[in-house]
Structure 1
């Protein structure tokens, strides 16, 4: 008859049975502490517990689950980075801890140089190119506008007042005095096809023996392109002392014909591209003229009577 074994019997027989529970050697493992990064390695070593039975050994399934759970708990906790700041780890849908993804592709500014400097260079090159192109364009326009000189033709000179007699200058010296008023007419033509001109003149002088006996000034005006205009200038001389030239002038006046010379300069200025591109011309005009004091008719000039320089 079989007798049931009591708990005391099982306990007493378990150590004595070599086939069921062989005696395993006791072992331990030293591993570095996970909480220490910059301390002494020898002080951070920790000892694992001693396992005396298969249930407690690492090969048992329960130990694997326990170790994975403890490892996961360690990963899911907070840890301290190398810079001393704490970061939190999160788990994904599969239970693995998430970590930041390293971005391998970034800016290539360090490889290809300073992009800001290159942009400034490009802007400077573009500005210089624009200035160069505009300069070439302006030079072409200026060259095309050079042939368009204002055409001047002196038409007539009308004497309104002519008086020659004795007098005294401001210092009281007695000498021959001349008073002369006359009006000069001339025609101005602007041949330019794409710009107008501003016309002005130097003082218009009527000269006798290198002495100015009358003078006037053309008032500045604007003349459109491809247009004609007739302008007039009033010349006046009041009580002009002739001094040494008075003797020869008296001889000429006694015959009724006094030789004079008309001299002035016409200036024309055209703005081709605003005030950036402009063209200027000067025409020096000299006309000999003989005034007949016995006649009161305007003196007309022929086409070749004057020189235009």
Structure 2
């Protein structure tokens, strides 16, 4: 055995065993407070960098039950609960779920607004349709009521003022008998309507012998107010009308016209239009008149009564 003396003169027994290295400290896992509990780390070797927050050098194994209990305890802690909520907010899946939920809420709100606007549109359309139908029914009632007030037309008489037949030539130079006739027709027109006036026009009044027209006239248009009447006088005349032998009565009695008795027909159509509700509701009336009259050569200038000689349609 040898003794060793240090610089201070202290002797050390060489038989002592050398010093054992210091024991490694035991490291425990600390529950994270600001990170996700699913990302817990169990540390690394003690030789690692000292800046690492978590180390694991303990042989102690943590069971699943202890991890669950620590997770539950961390959730009970308000600070840990807020940290867990913060982690959830940072999770992209959470944002995606929240965004989808917001979109669903927005869609529900838009659907509610669209449903309300559609209901309003349908309501307005129904109201408009109701008023249109009501107005249409009202117009039809007025139109139907107006048909009961057809104007009254009555031909009173006709006066043949002049009558003459002489030889002549037509426009192409063909020789034939030429007839000249002048007459006046008196017509009574009455509007019996109680709530509308009428506007009246007429076709030219004409005198025919069979199919041959001998004279025609012109009737001016006029307006007749409700529940009123007027007397119309229309001139019906013909000048130098070629006969072409079509009127045999006149051919044989050219020299004695006072003996002539010539049957004629007076025809015309009167059109009456009533504006019941402006131009929206109109009612039209047609009065077709056909009168049988006989021209007597010896009764010129005298009125011939046609009250019972006319047909009205």
**Hey, what does 1:209 align to over in structure 2?**
210
Deviations 1:132-171 (A, max 9, x none): 1111111111111101111111122233332211111111
* Distance in 1, Cα, partners of 2:106 & 2:260: 105
Residue deviations 1:91-145 (CA, integer Å, cap 9, x gap): xxxxxxxxxxxxx999766369633333332232222222211111111111111
What residue in structure 2 maps to residue 187 of structure 1?
A: 188
1:274 to 278, 284, 287: 278
Q: How large is the RMSD of aligned CA atoms in angstroms?
A: 4.0
- Give the superposition deviation at 1:201: 1.2
For structure 2, the 5+ residue unaligned runs are 1-25, 44-51, 55-76, 83-88, 94-104
Aligned counterparts of 1:81 and 1:274: Cα–Cα separation in 2: 75
Other-structure match for 1:286: 290
- The DSSP-based 3-state class of the residue aligned with 2:207 is strand
Decide whether aligned partners of structure 1 residues 221 and 42 sit closer, same or farther in structure 2, where only a CA change above 3 A counts.
farther
Q: Secondary structure at the match of 1:304?
A: coil
Give distance in 2, aligned partners of 1:218 and 1:81.
98
Report how far residue 215 of structure 1 moved: 0.9
1:261 corresponds to 2:294: no
| Equivalent residue number for residue 97 of structure 2 | none
Q: Map 1:1-309 to 2 at 5 A.
A: 29-31=30-32, 33=34, 41=39, 47=53, 110=111, 114-251=115-252, 254=256, 255-309=259-313
Aligned equivalent of 2:98? none
Distance 1:81 1:122, change over 3 A: farther
How far apart are residue 28 of structure 1 and its match?
Answer: 5.9
Larger radius of gyration: 2
Q: Return 5+ residue gaps in structure 1 as ranges.
A: 1-24, 49-66, 73-78, 84-103
Q: How many residues are treated as equivalent by the alignment?
A: 246
User: Closer, same or farther in 2 for the Cα pair 1:169/1:42, shift >3 Å?
Assistant: farther
Whole-Å Cα distance in 2 between the matches of residues 262 and 175 of structure 1? 24
Instruction: Indicate how the Cα distance of structure 1 residues 32 and 110 shifts in structure 2: closer, same or farther if over 3 A, else same.
Output: farther
- Which is further off, 186-195 or 146-155? 146-155
Give the deviation of 1:302 after TM superposition.
4.3
Could you tell me how far 1:269 is from its partner in structure 2?
1.2
Contact (CA 8 Å) 2:291, 2:306: kept in 1 or not? no
Change (3 A) 1:308 1:47: same
The residue aligned with 2:65 is: none
2-structure distance, mates of 1:117, 1:178: 79
CA contact (8 A) 1:181 1:234 kept: yes
Rounded to whole Å, the distance in 1 between the matches of 2:244 and 2:279 is: 48
Instruction: Measure how far apart 1:288 and its partner are.
Output: 1.4
